[in-house]
C-alpha cells in the first residue's frame, strides 16, 4: 500500500504531462499505447479517456517507449497520497530532530555517570515538590480537624452549628481534596518520569555503544 501510494505521489507531479506529450507526439509522429481494465493493449495517434484513465506510454516511430505517464488520480487517491506524503515528511523531521537531540545528549553527557546524575536530579526535584505537598496536606488536614472539633463542641452542647463554621468546614474540606488530588498527580508524574528515565538510560547506553563502535 505504501509503495502504491508513493507511486501516486509521483504521479501528481505529472499533472501537465498528457498535454505536453500530446503536443510532442503531434510534432514528432509519436503514438500512444496503453492497457485497459481488461488487460487488452491499445494504440492510438491521440489520447483517449481510457489512456488517461489507465496511464499510457509515449512511443516513437521506431516503436520505442520514450515516456510513461501514470494514470490520473481520483480525489480519494490524491487525498491519500497527500496524507502519506505529509506522514513521511513528519517522520523524516522527527528522525532528524531525534538525531540532533542524540548528538546534543552525547555532547552534554560524555559518560553514563554524568547522564544518570542529571536524571536523578530531575527525580529529586519532583521528590521535593511531593514533600512540600505532603507538608501542606498535613497542615490543611490539621486545620480541618480543628474546625470539626469546634463543630463537635456545638453538637455536644446541643447548640446549632453556626453558618460561618459550616461554611468554613465545607471550604476546608475542598482545600484538603484539592491538595490530595495535587499530591496524587505529582506522585503519578514521578512514577511516569522514573519509567521514562529507564528507557532514556537504555537509549543513552545504545548511543554510547554505537559511538564506541565507530572507527
Nearest to residue 102, comparing CAs of 50, 94, 51, 163?
94
**Burial class of residue 115 in the structure, from the number of CB atoms within 10 Å of its CB (0-12 exposed, 13-18 middle, 19+ buried):** buried
Contact 31, 38 (CB under 8 A): no
For residues 140 and 185, membership in a common domain is answered with yes
Give the global pTM: 0.57
Choosing from 84, 108, 132, the residue where a domain stops is 108
At 213 the pLDDT is: 87
**Burial class of residue 111 in the structure, from the number of CB atoms within 10 Å of its CB (0-12 exposed, 13-18 middle, 19+ buried):** exposed
Choosing from 77, 108, 139, the residue where a domain stops is 108
Say which residue the cell 446541643 belongs to: 158
For residues 120 and 103, membership in a common domain is answered with no
* Strand 56-59 relative to strand 31-35, pairing: antiparallel
For residues 150 and 181, membership in a common domain is answered with yes
Identify the domain containing residue 71 by its residue range: 1-108
Q: Strands across the sheet with 41-44, in order?
A: 41-44, 31-35, 56-59, 65-69
Q: For the ranges 21-35, 82-96, 98-112, 159-173, which has the lowest average pLDDT?
A: 21-35
Angle at 179 between CA 177 and CA 180, to 5 degrees: 60
For residues 94 and 123, membership in a common domain is answered with no
> Can you read off the three cell numbers belonging to residue 214?
565507530
Q: Which residue did the predictor score with more confidence, 189 or 28?
A: 189
Contact 169, 151 (CB under 8 A): yes
Tally the domains of the chain: 2
The pLDDT confidence band at residue 81, using thresholds 50, 70 and 90, is: confident
At 24 the pLDDT is: 42
Amino acid at each position: 500500500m505504501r509503495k502504491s501510494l508513493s507511486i501516486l505521489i509521483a504521479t501528481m507531479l505529472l499533472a501537465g504531462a498528457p498535454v505536453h506529450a500530446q503536443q510532442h507526439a503531434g510534432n514528432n509522429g509519436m503514438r500512444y499505447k496503453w492497457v485497459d481494465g481488461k488487460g487488452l493493449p491499445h494504440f492510438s495517434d491521440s489520447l483517449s479517456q481510457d489512456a488517461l484513465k489507465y496511464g499510457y506510454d509515449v512511443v516513437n516511430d521506431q516503436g520505442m517507449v520514450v515516456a510513461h505517464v501514470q494514470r490520473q488520480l481520483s480525489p480519494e487517491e490524491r487525498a491519500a497520497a497527500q496524507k502519506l506524503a505529509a506522514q513521511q515528511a513528519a517522520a523524516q523531521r522527527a528522525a532528524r530532530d531525534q538525531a540532533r537531540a542524540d548528538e546534543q545528549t552525547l555532547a552534554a553527557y560524555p559518560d553514563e555517570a554524568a547522564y544518570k546524575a542529571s536524571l536523578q536530579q530531575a527525580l529529586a526535584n519532583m521528590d521535593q515538590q511531593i514533600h512540600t505537598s505532603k507538608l501542606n496536606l498535613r497542615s490543611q488536614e490539621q486545620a480541618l480537624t480543628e474546625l470539626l472539633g469546634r463543630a463537635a463542641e456545638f453538637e455536644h452542647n446541643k447548640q446549632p452549628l453556626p453558618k460561618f463554621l459550616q461554611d468554613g468546614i465545607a471550604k476546608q474540606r475542598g482545600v484538603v481534596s484539592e491538595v490530595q488530588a495535587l499530591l496524587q498527580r505529582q506522585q503519578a508524574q514521578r512514577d511516569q518520569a522514573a519509567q521514562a528515565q529507564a528507557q532514556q538510560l537504555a537509549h543513552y547506553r545504545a548511543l554510547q555503544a554505537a559511538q564506541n563502535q565507530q572507527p
